[in-house]
């Protein structure tokens, strides 16, 4: 059989690049008009997905917060990665260049979680250190998910609902990946007081059922800001 004539071609796609990452991060955060005040504790979540220049991005966010007079700290937002231990997750962050020395702020890792709400009859858990902060900021990529489609996609939301919790919540986290559950979990966090990128915010309450075996609840609402 005669093969058809084959030609080699090269296609170049547009690849926009950020020349000055720290400056771009600072400009984006400043333009968001976030209602963070001096003295506020801000938990900055760093993941384990190997984002290019993640150390530079997280460091720039931390410096911007410090310039505001806030008290930022970094926490691992990676679910059960790093062996599901604080030491393992600190090692993952260090592999990406995220340490207390390079960030200029504390890095707090724990497997402890607190209950911040309930949705669809399921408890919603959050990293204890993050729950104790006045604000939570997540640093992650935003892109379409390879498995599910919907108005709420992967990236920041998955990092919030799964990665910002301890590995002991894996069964609940798996359930929360269903589209209806993801939307409900988002509503739960909005009820507890959230701020959008435009700076608008709203607060509210959510009823919770607890037992004597439930971990402690967060003492105050934590908000997702970036």
pLDDT, one tens digit per residue, over 2-29 is: 889 999 999 998 888 889 999 999 999 9
| pLDDT value of residue 117 | 81
Phi, psi (5° rounding) for residue 136? -125, 130
Position 201 pLDDT exceeds 70:
no
Over residues 108-132, mean pLDDT: 86
Over residues 49-54, mean pLDDT: 85
| pLDDT value of residue 153 | 61
Over residues 196-201, mean pLDDT: 34
Residues pairing with 224 in the sheet? 136
Position 83 pLDDT exceeds 80:
yes
Q: In the chain, how long is the greatest CA-to-CA distance? A: 76
Structural tokens at position 16? 């926009």
Higher-pLDDT residue of 58 and 205 is: 58
Over residues 61-71, mean pLDDT: 96
**Which residues have CB under 8 Å from 42's CB, separation 6+?**
36, 65, 70, 71, 72, 73, 133, 134, 135, 136, 137, 225
Please give the mean pLDDT across all residues of the chain. 75
Helices (H), 13-136: 21-31, 54-67, 86-95, 100-103, 128-132
Higher-pLDDT residue of 148 and 226 is: 148
| pLDDT value of residue 152 | 63
User: Using the 8-state DSSP alphabet, how is residue 218 labeled?
Assistant: P
| pLDDT value of residue 145 | 65
| pLDDT value of residue 142 | 73
Model pTM above 0.75 = no
| pLDDT value of residue 84 | 85
Higher-pLDDT residue of 26 and 203 is: 26
State how far the alpha carbon of 113 is from the alpha carbons of 26, 39, 126, 213, 216, in Å.
Answer: 31, 24, 5, 13, 8
Dihedral sign computed on CA atoms, order 111, 114, 116, 118: positive
Higher-pLDDT residue of 188 and 121 is: 121
Burial class (CB in 10 A: 0-12, 13-18, 19+), 222: buried
Structural element, H or E, at residue 182: helix 179-191
């Amino acid at each position: 059989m005669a093969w058809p004539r084959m030609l080699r071609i090269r296609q170049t796609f547009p690849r926009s690049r950020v020349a000055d990452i720290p400056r771009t991060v600072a400009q984006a955060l400043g333009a968001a008009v976030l209602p963070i005040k001096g003295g506020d504790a801000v938990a900055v979540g760093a993941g384990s997905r190997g984002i290019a220049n993640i150390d530079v991005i997280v460091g720039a966010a931390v410096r911007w917060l410090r310039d505001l007079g806030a008290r930022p700290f970094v926490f691992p937002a990676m679910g059960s990665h790093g062996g599901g231990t604080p030491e393992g997750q600190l090692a993952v962050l260090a592999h990406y260049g995220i340490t207390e020395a390079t960030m200029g702020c504390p890095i707090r890792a724990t497997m402890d979680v607190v209950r911040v709400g309930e949705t669809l009859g399921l408890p919603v858990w959050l990293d204890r250190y993050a729950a104790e902060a006045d604000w939570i900021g997540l640093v992650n990529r935003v892109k379409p998910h390879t498995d599910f489609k919907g108005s709420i996609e992967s990236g920041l939301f998955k990092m919030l609902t799964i990665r910002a919790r301890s590995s002991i919540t894996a069964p609940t986290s798996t359930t929360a990946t269903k589209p209806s559950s993801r939307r409900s979990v988002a509503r739960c966090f909005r009820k507890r007081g959230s701020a959008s990128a435009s700076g608008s915010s709203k607060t509210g309450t959510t009823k919770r059922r607890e037992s004597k075996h439930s971990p402690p609840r967060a003492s105050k609402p934590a908000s997702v800001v970036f």
